[in-house]
Structure 1
Amino acid sequence: MIILDYPRKKQEIEYDIRILGRKTGDCLMETSNSGKRLDKKITYAYIILLILAVLLTALEYAFANDGVAYDVRTVVDREELCPERVEIIDQDTRDFYFTDVRVFGEADCLFFCSSHQNVEVYQGDHLLYQLKRGNHIFDRTTGFHWNFVQMEQKASFLRVRVQALFPQIREYQLHFYKGNAFKIFMEQVREDFGNVMVSIMDVAIGIVLFAYWVTLKKRLKAGNGLLYFGLFSILMGLWSFGETAIFQMTIANRPAASDMGYLLVMLLPVPFILFARDFLEVEERKISNGLCIFSFVNSVCCVILHLSGVLAHKQTATTTHLLLVAALCYMVYALRTHIREIGFDSRVWVNMAGLLILAVTCVLDLSAFYIKAGGIDVIGRIGLLFYIILVGFQAARDTLKQLDQGRQAELLVELADLDNLTGLYNRNTYNKWVEDHPRPDGTTILTFDLNYLKKCNDTLGHAMGDLYIRSAAQIIAQVFEGQGKCYRIGGDEFCVIVNGLIGSSEMEEKFSKMEEMEKEYTPKEAGIPLQIAHGYAYFDKYQDADIEKSRERADKKMYDNKKLRKEKG
Structure 2
Amino acid sequence: MQVGRGTRKQRADDAGRRWTVLLNLILAVGFIMFLWIVVSTSCENMTLNNEPVYPLTDGWSVTYEGKTEDATLPTHQESRAGEKVVFTKTLRKEDGKGNSIMFHSYHQYVKIYLDGEEIFSYGEGQVKPFKMSVGSPWIHVRLPADWEGKTLQVETVSVYDEYSGMQEEIYFGTKNALVSVIYRNAMKTMMWNLPIIIMGICVIVGSFMFREKRTVRRLRYLGLTALVISGWICLESKVTQAFTGNVLVSMNLIFILFGLIPVLFSRFLLTYESFENSRYMKFAFYYSSANYVMIQILQICSVRDYMETVPAVHVAIIITILGIVFVFAGKRIKRERIKDTALVTGCLVFAVFALLDILRFYIYTPLADPILFTRMGLICFLGVLGFSALKEAAAEKEGQIEKETWKRLAVTDTLTNLPNRMSFEEHMRIFREEKQDKTPMIMVADLNNLKKINDMFGHTKGDQAIIRTAELLKKAFHSGADCFRIGGDEFCVIAEGIIPEEFRLRSEAFTRLVEEENKKTEYDFSVAYGFVEAGTEGIDEAFRRADRKMYECKLKMKETMKEG
What letter is aligned with 2:444?
T
Deviation at 1:215, TM superposition (A): 6.2
Higher mean displacement: 306-315 or 85-94: 85-94
- Aligned-partner Cα distance in 1 for 2:558–2:336: 64
Cα 1:498–1:283 shift into 2, 3 Å? farther
Q: Structure 1 residues 268 and 490 mapped into 2: Cα distance closer, same or farther (>3 Å)?
A: same
Matches within 5 A, 1:389-404: 389-404=383-398
Quote the residue 1:449 is aligned against.
Answer: 446
Is the Cα contact below 8 Å between 2:90 and 2:151 reproduced in 1? Answer: no
Quote the residue 1:424 is aligned against: 418
SS of structure 1 residue aligned to 2:205 = helix
1:94 counterpart residue number:
83
Kindly provide the amino acid, as one letter, of the partner of residue 105 in structure 1: R
Cα offset, 1:272, TM superposition: 3.0
1:486 is paired with a residue whose SS is strand
1:248-263 → structure 2 map (5 Å cutoff): 252-263=245-256
User: Are the equivalent residues in 2 in contact too, given 1:205–1:230 (CA < 8 A)?
Assistant: no
Matched, 1:233 2:223: no
Cα distance in structure 1, aligned partners of 2:546 and 2:330: 59
Q: 1:178 and 1:489 mapped to 2: Cα distance?
A: 84
Contact (CA 8 Å) 2:262, 2:316: kept in 1 or not? Answer: yes
2:104 matched to 1:105? Answer: no
Shift of 1:172: 3.7
Shift of 1:342: 11
Map of 1:513 onto structure 2: 512
Q: Give the match for residue 357 of structure 2.
A: 365
Q: Does the CA-based 8 Å contact 1:469-1:492 persist in structure 2? A: yes
Residue equivalent to 1:299: 292
1:83 aligns with 2:75: no
Secondary structure of the equivalent of 2:492? strand
Q: Residue 214 in 1 paired to residue 205 in 2?
A: yes
Partner of 2:261: 268
The structure with higher relative contact order (CA 8 Å, sep 6+) is: 1
CA displacement at 1:567 relative to structure 2: 1.8
Partners of 1:195 and 1:240 lie apart in 2 by 11
Q: What is the distance in 1 between the residues matched to 2:551 and 2:153?
A: 112
Which digits, 9 at most, give the CA deviation of each residue in 1:525-551, with x for residues without a partner?
xxxx3332211111122xx1x111011
Decide whether the 8 Å contact of 1:281 with 1:338 is kept in 2. Answer: no
1:162 aligns with 2:162: no
Change (3 A) 1:550 1:330: farther
CA contact (8 A) 2:90 2:149 kept: no
Structure 1 residues 88-487: aligned runs within 5 Å: 92-96=81-85, 103-105=90-92, 114-119=105-110, 130-132=121-123, 134=126, 136-137=128-129, 140-146=132-138, 160=155, 162-163=157-158, 165=159, 169-172=160-163, 174-176=165-167, 180-182=171-173, 193=184, 196-207=187-198, 209-211=200-202, 213-214=204-205, 217-218=208-209, 221=212, 222-247=215-240, 252-278=245-271, 284=277, 294-329=287-322, 348-349=341-342, 351-373=343-365, 374-376=368-370, 380-438=374-432, 439-457=436-454, 465-487=462-484
Q: 1:562 to 1:329 in 2, by over 3 A?
A: farther
Partners of 1:399 and 1:318 lie apart in 2 by: 36
Partner residue of 1:568?
560
Q: Is the 2:443–2:546 Cα contact (8 Å) retained in structure 1?
A: yes
Aligned to 1:11: none
Question: Is 1:502 the counterpart of 2:493 in the alignment?
Answer: no
1:69-95 CA-partner distances (Å, limit 9, x unpaired): xxxx99644215453663499964434
* Kept after mapping to 2: 8 A contact 1:112/1:146: yes
SS at match of 2:530: strand
Query: Of 478, 493, 499, which aligns to 2:490?
Result: 493
Distance 1:509 1:253, change over 3 A: closer
Q: Aligned-pair distance for 1:320?
A: 2.4
| Corresponding letter in the other structure for 1:260 | L
Q: How many residues align?
A: 482
Query: What is the letter of the counterpart of residue 557 of structure 1?
Result: K
SS in 2 for 1:540: coil
> Partner of 2:17 in structure 1?
none
Q: Distance in 2 between matches of 1:287 and 1:182?
A: 55
- Which residue of structure 1 aligns with residue 19 of structure 2? none
Contact 1:538 1:550 in 2 (8 A): yes
1:205-241 CA-partner distances (Å, limit 9, x unpaired): 4235424643672565541434333332222222212
| 1:498/1:148 CA distance change after superposition, 3 Å | closer
CA distance in 1, matches of 2:182, 2:128: 36
Q: 1:229 to 1:436 in 2, by over 3 A?
A: same
Please give the secondary structure, in 2, of the residue aligned with 1:404: helix
Distance (Å, rounded) in 2 between the aligned partners of 1:531 and 1:338: 71
Structure 1: distance between partners of 2:166 and 2:175:
14
Query: What corresponds to 2:548 in structure 1?
Result: 556
The 1:480–1:332 alpha-carbon spacing in structure 2 relative to 1, beyond 3 Å, is farther
Name the stretch that deviates more: 471-480 or 88-97. 88-97
**Which residue identity lines up with residue 440 of structure 2 in the other structure?**
T
Contact 1:449 1:534 in 2 (8 A): yes
Provide closer, same or farther for how the CA distance between residues 511 and 464 of structure 1 changes in structure 2, counting only shifts above 3 A: closer
CA contact (8 A) 2:421 2:487 kept: yes
Identity of aligned residues (%): 23
Structure 2: stretches of 5+ with no match in the other structure: 1-50, 68-77
Q: Secondary structure at the match of 1:536?
A: strand
3-state SS, counterpart of residue 417 of structure 2: coil
Gapped runs of 5+ residues in structure 1? 1-72
SS in 2 for 1:437: helix
